[in-house]
Amino acid sequence: MEPDFRGDADHHDGTSDATPGGYADSRRPGELVFTILLTIGSGALLWNAYGIAGFEALSSPGAIPMATAAVMLISSIIILVKTARLKLVANETMSKDILPWLVIVMFVLLVAFGIALKPLGFIPTAAIFLILSMKLMARRSWPVTLLIALGSLVVIWLIFRIVFTVLLPAGIVPEAEFIQYFRDLFSAGGDA
């Protein structure tokens, strides 16, 4: 059995934990640039690690950071040399196989989610995010999209707010008042 057996086109098998993508004998689009960036980054880290304590002592706070940065630099240079020698995969393109537009759009949506989370509050931000992304991906009719997006949001909100008691930014929605209203309602019902 091949060591990098991936089982299926789904990339699902072990992609999540261990077995990554990539090919052993050829280079994917953008791989060279990625490796160059890693090498530069490792170099910068090594420089920074040297700045922590220099070669002052083997037990200095900078010793392990310097060692790890050195390992990163050396291994990234080896990877760089190896990668540069490989042939480019013939039938793959950057925009089709590595970074399709959907990935970029979703990433932009995620960043927008992060920016809007505090000022707008969890519920409206999550609702907009879910509706937009589900509509974009599933291309179903508006009623179906709205139903699934909002339905799952309600379930998630109930689970996290009530079961896990996670505090999420309330933003413009008077969430606490809302929960209190229901508490009052139930306790009133209990008293009666």
Partner 1 sequence: MSALMDMLMIFTNPQLLLLVGLGTFAGVYVGAIPGLSVTMAVSILISFTFSWDVLPAISLMIGIYMGGVYGGSRTAILLNIPGAPSAIATAMDGYPMAKRGEAGTAIGVTTVMSFFGGFIGIGVLALAAPFVSKFALTFQPRDYMLLAVLGILLVGSLSSGSLIKGTFAGALGIGIGAVGMDPLTFTERFTFDIPLLTQGISFIAVMIGMFGVSEALLQLHHIDMPAVRQKIDRIVPSFSTIKKHLPLSVQTSSIGVIIGALPGTGGDIAALMAYDHAKRVTKNPEREFGDGAIEGLVAPETANNAAVGGAFIPMMTLGIPGDAVTAIMIGALYIHGLNPGPMLMIDQPHMFWFIVGALITANFFILLFGLTGIKLFTKIVEIPRAFLIPLIMLLSIVGAYAVNNSITDVYWMLGFGVFGYFMRHYGYPLGPVILGVILSRLLDDNWRRAIISEREDLGRFFGGLFSSPLSTVLFVAVVLIFVSQTPLWTKGKALIFGRSNRSAS
**The three-state (H, E, C) secondary structure of the chain, written as one string:** CCCCCCCCCCCCCCCCCCCCCCCCCEECCCHHHHHHHHHHHHHHHHHHHHHHHCCCCCCCCCHHHHHHHHHHHHHHHHHHHHHHHCEECCCCCHHHHHCCHHHHHHHHHHHHHHHHHHHHCHHHHHHHHHHHHHHHHHCCCHHHHHHHHHHHHHHHHHHHHHHCCCCCCCCCCCHHHHHHHHHHHHHHHHHC
Identify the residue among 40, 54, 55, 71 touching partner 1 (CB under 8 A): 71
Q: How far is the CB of 174 from partner 1 (least distance, A)?
A: 19
Identify the residue among 52, 128, 146, 150 touching partner 1 (CB under 8 A): 52
* Residue 146 binds to partner 1 (criterion: CB under 8 A): no
Site string for partner 1, 72-111 (x = CB under 8 A): x--xx-xx--x--------------xx-x-xx--xx--xx
* Residue 112 binds to partner 1 (criterion: CB under 8 A): no
Q: How far is the CB of 28 from partner 1 (least distance, A)?
A: 6
